[in-house]
Structure 1
Amino acid sequence: MQTSTKMLLELLVLALMAISCHAQGEAPIGAIELTLVHDAGTKGAVCLDGSLPGYHLDLGSGAGSNSWIVHLEGGAWCSDATSCAFRAGTHLGSSRFMNATVFQGILSSSPRINPYFYNWNRVKVRYCDGGSFSGDAEFPMLGRSPITKEFQILYFRGQRIWEAVMEDLLARGMSDASRALLSGESAGGLASLIHCDSFRELFFEDVEVKCLSDGGIFLDIADINGYLFAQSYFRKVVNLQNIGKNLPRECTVERDNGQCFLAQYFLEGIYTPVFILQSTYDTYQIQNFLVPSSEDPLRKWIPCKNNPRLCSVSELKVLQEFHFGMLHALHPIESFTTWGAYLVSCFCHTQSQENFQWDGTSRIAGMSVVDAIGQWAYRGVGTKYVDCPYPCNPTCRSRS
């Protein structure tokens, strides 16, 4: 597929993500202000455009005062200088475009919406490196924005951002935590798995530390025409941002770096307890990797991609194969007694960051995602909830 087409696809994804973000201006009621990591620049820990990284912190209270949840924001990736230059002019590549944010879902301060974590110290780490907080290229690169036509110096320093933010949070009281949970959604969910064990190592041995990945399992699959689009795409991300040196060595000695960026190939090496929250019909992967627009020039898949009830028999067969492929990739964790999972057959991408998905309506065998994660976090219950194939679950919700 042509590079220009790939770039346009990435720009489209970024544009769609930007729709849900607040416009610059007055912060909404209850919004948490952005905290910049002021000494990060001296360590080279900067966003794509060279601006300082940041996070939002809402302090805990009462019984949750010594418990911390650190959530890594998601937002796809960039795989070449042009798409990264475009990204550098958005909140996904520069703190200059980041606003105060209202915490929802697993970060909400409402005991009704978020009964298990509402009074914890809740942190949202902003995503501005385009490489799942994992890149570490020594030298910057020059890229030209396809929108402004201006040249932009680009920095790929996600690993340093991770380290600088963690150091700052430890100094702000996280070092005294009795319980800590690293979570993330989408690209941040992948990052929560990549950094899970290093997060564990930040704390004393008696601190209860766990990790949660929401929509962070990206499959190494062929698209509808047999092209390994996902593998090729992630290989470019890894090579561009010098991520390879931060990937698990036990994986990279056997596989391509692009594959080792995908959690299905390094999950078994994580020793910290993990909860996998994942749709087995992940809409992001279906739309961008399984059926990318470049492989559907006649747009025959558009109705099915937008609404599974409009899928033909042959199209639904492809989606069911994706579902079972996800279950196969996660099969090894079945025997992990301290791990939990909630693998739902609803068509969605992430489920923990918005109230409408986190409110307990969608269920697997009567269990809500809120209670499944909460019971695992507090009681160490390593239960795996696995949904039956679409369309068996009547509790699924969507914006439509």
Structure 2
Amino acid sequence: MRSKLICCVVLAFAFFRTYCGQNQSKLVLLQNPQNAKCLDGTAPGYYFSQGYGDGQNKFLLYMEGGFYCNGQTEQEILENCYQRSFTDVGSSSKWNQTYMDNGIFSPLQRYNPLFYNWNRIFIKYCDGTYYQSSRDPVIYKNKTLNFRGSDNFKEIVEDISQRYELKNSSIVVLAGGSAGGQGSYFWSQYLRNYLPSTIKMVASPDCGFNVQLNPALQDKNPVWVDFITNRKREIIQPQGCPYLHDDINLYKCFLTEYIINQINIPVFFISSLYDQFFIDTYLQIDCINSKNALVGCTDQQQAKIENMRQKLYGAISLIRPVKKNWGMWAVSCVLHVFSQGLAYNNQVYQVPEDSQITPSLALKSFIEAVEQDKPLDNFYFIDELAYPYNVRCNGLQSLSQQ
């Protein structure tokens, strides 16, 4: 009996190792890139997982997040980027050879009901400029820093196309989380123009919908934009921002509500109206506990957080009547990025409450409607409740109690 049990355990372990090995995305670094470089000069790249079955001709391109090299002066920008160049979001030198994640990258259908068998591509972020920069290198503290985010994205897309026949696909979804979510807004129209018109395309940013919360930390000032573009602002994506040469309003080119007219494709975005990153970084409020609950906030802090929700809610609501081919899912609970974790298909996160509409289900329904040429004007899932009244995900109860 004991020997049979040991045998079963060994076989199960072998199966698990084989299964995981077959379903891990493999690292692809650009070979002999023309201009593309990470901050430290190493080659940029992505992780690739082969599609199969009815997903073998469909592509998910997901842009990694990781904030940016911020600064109000060139010195601050350089110092920030210099420190970043020693990390995984500034260098490819220590990237793992394989990648496997939950959420939108899971190979398991029960966790990832739409994309589990698609060609899944995780684009690594190593330029620190929201994939927007293109300029000559700068030597700082005896280290050469490269600002090639725009070149990185273009050459990665071309590499994917050459290796895996991206231009022969039936549908392409450009998604991303956090800074990658903003990147997927910025680059969606470029990718649409790059692909043949016969290919359907959707953009799906996750927690990349931004509003002005803290100008000192968030607004892309003229110094920052001119530095990363070498004063050639026209390279900023999406092209055609009406504020590009207006120094006072330049920051609007990096906020979704002001660039929607430059994005003429179906978009389905995922958001938290109480985005944890916004609260921590932009509002600089620290009253979120380990269960993602707002506990111990002062009245003043709570008022600032609620003002943030109202700004996000207002900006999102204004888009609905203007962009009939846009959909949205926004919940009144504290989190940052749903698509790269178990929250993506977790019944804890539903909009409206008790509707069973998770981020994964909402996005799946939207993309299937695009594939079937159905109307897109009714995919609007925005939480009308303020915190903490969506009790499923307010963090004030354990998941086992919910």
Return the TM-score normalized by structure 2: 0.82
Aligned to 2:152: 161
TM-fit CA distance, 1:397:
6.7
Gaps of 5+ in 2: 1-19, 71-76, 371-375
Q: 1:35 to 1:211 in 2, by over 3 A?
A: same
TM-fit CA distance, 1:183:
0.3
Q: 1:268 to 1:330 in 2, by over 3 A?
A: farther
Aligned to 1:103: 101
Q: Compare 99-108 and 52-61 and name the one that shifted more.
A: 99-108
| Bigger Rg, which one | 2
Please tell me whether the aligned partners of residues 387 and 394 of structure 2 are also in contact (alpha carbons under 8 angstroms): no
TM-fit CA distance, 1:357:
4.1
> 296, 302, 323: which is aligned to 2:286?
302
TM-fit CA distance, 1:356:
4.1
Provide the C-alpha distance between the structure 2 equivalents of 1:118 and 1:237, rounded to a whole number of angstroms: 39
Aligned to 2:51: 60
Q: 1:62 to 1:304 in 2, by over 3 A?
A: closer
Identical pairs, percent: 26
Give the secondary-structure state (helix, strand or coil) at the position aligned to 2:316: helix
Provide the C-alpha distance between the structure 1 equivalents of 2:211 and 2:217, rounded to a whole number of angstroms: 8
Provide the C-alpha distance between the structure 2 equivalents of 1:48 and 1:282, rounded to a whole number of angstroms: 28
> 310, 321, 342: which is aligned to 2:329?
342
TM-fit CA distance, 1:359:
2.9
Provide the C-alpha distance between the structure 1 equivalents of 2:36 and 2:78, rounded to a whole number of angstroms: 19
Aligned to 1:12: none
Provide the C-alpha distance between the structure 2 equivalents of 1:210 and 1:75, rounded to a whole number of angstroms: 22
Q: 1:358 to 1:121 in 2, by over 3 A?
A: same
Provide the C-alpha distance between the structure 2 equivalents of 1:107 and 1:234, rounded to a whole number of angstroms: 34
TM-fit CA distance, 1:38:
0.5
TM-fit CA distance, 1:236:
5.0
Deviations 1:270-310 (A, max 9, x none): 1111111111111111111122xxxxxxxxx5335874132
Give the secondary-structure state (helix, strand or coil) at the position aligned to 2:41: coil
- Counterpart code for 1:261: F
Aligned to 1:74: 65
CA root-mean-square deviation:
2.1
- Counterpart code for 1:184: G
Aligned to 2:137: 140
Provide the C-alpha distance between the structure 2 equivalents of 1:70 and 1:94, rounded to a whole number of angstroms: 20
Give the secondary-structure state (helix, strand or coil) at the position aligned to 1:310: coil
Please tell me whether the aligned partners of residues 61 and 121 of structure 2 are also in contact (alpha carbons under 8 angstroms): yes
Moved over 6 A (4+): 397-400
Q: Compare 377-386 and 352-361 and name the one that shifted more.
A: 352-361
Please tell me whether the aligned partners of residues 344 and 358 of structure 2 are also in contact (alpha carbons under 8 angstroms): no
Aligned: 1:351 with 2:338: yes
Provide the C-alpha distance between the structure 2 equivalents of 1:361 and 1:85, rounded to a whole number of angstroms: 40
Count of residues in correspondence between the two structures: 350
Q: Compare 87-96 and 263-272 and name the one that shifted more.
A: 263-272
Give the secondary-structure state (helix, strand or coil) at the position aligned to 1:201: helix
Q: 1:236 to 1:118 in 2, by over 3 A?
A: farther
Please tell me whether the aligned partners of residues 218 and 282 of structure 2 are also in contact (alpha carbons under 8 angstroms): no
Q: 1:390 to 1:77 in 2, by over 3 A?
A: same
Q: 1:130 to 1:317 in 2, by over 3 A?
A: same
Provide the C-alpha distance between the structure 1 equivalents of 2:316 and 2:243, rounded to a whole number of angstroms: 16
Aligned to 2:203: 211
Matches within 5 A, 1:245-394: 245-247=234-236, 248-254=240-246, 256-291=249-284, 301-303=285-287, 307-335=293-321, 336-365=323-352, 366=355, 367-380=357-370, 381-382=376-377, 383-387=379-383, 388-394=385-391
Aligned: 1:201 with 2:193: yes
Please tell me whether the aligned partners of residues 279 and 344 of structure 1 are also in contact (alpha carbons under 8 angstroms): yes
Please tell me whether the aligned partners of residues 362 and 397 of structure 1 are also in contact (alpha carbons under 8 angstroms): no
Provide the C-alpha distance between the structure 2 equivalents of 1:235 and 1:74, rounded to a whole number of angstroms: 23
Provide the C-alpha distance between the structure 1 equivalents of 2:233 and 2:255, rounded to a whole number of angstroms: 12
Provide the C-alpha distance between the structure 2 equivalents of 1:235 and 1:98, rounded to a whole number of angstroms: 33
Give the secondary-structure state (helix, strand or coil) at the position aligned to 2:390: coil
Return the TM-score normalized by structure 1: 0.82
Deviations 1:346-365 (A, max 9, x none): 11111101124433431012
Please tell me whether the aligned partners of residues 268 and 333 of structure 1 are also in contact (alpha carbons under 8 angstroms): no
Please tell me whether the aligned partners of residues 37 and 44 of structure 2 are also in contact (alpha carbons under 8 angstroms): yes
Aligned to 1:49: 40
TM-fit CA distance, 1:233:
5.7
Provide the C-alpha distance between the structure 2 equivalents of 1:343 and 1:62, rounded to a whole number of angstroms: 32
Please tell me whether the aligned partners of residues 189 and 262 of structure 2 are also in contact (alpha carbons under 8 angstroms): no
Provide the C-alpha distance between the structure 1 equivalents of 2:223 and 2:217, rounded to a whole number of angstroms: 10
Q: Compare 275-284 and 231-240 and name the one that shifted more.
A: 231-240
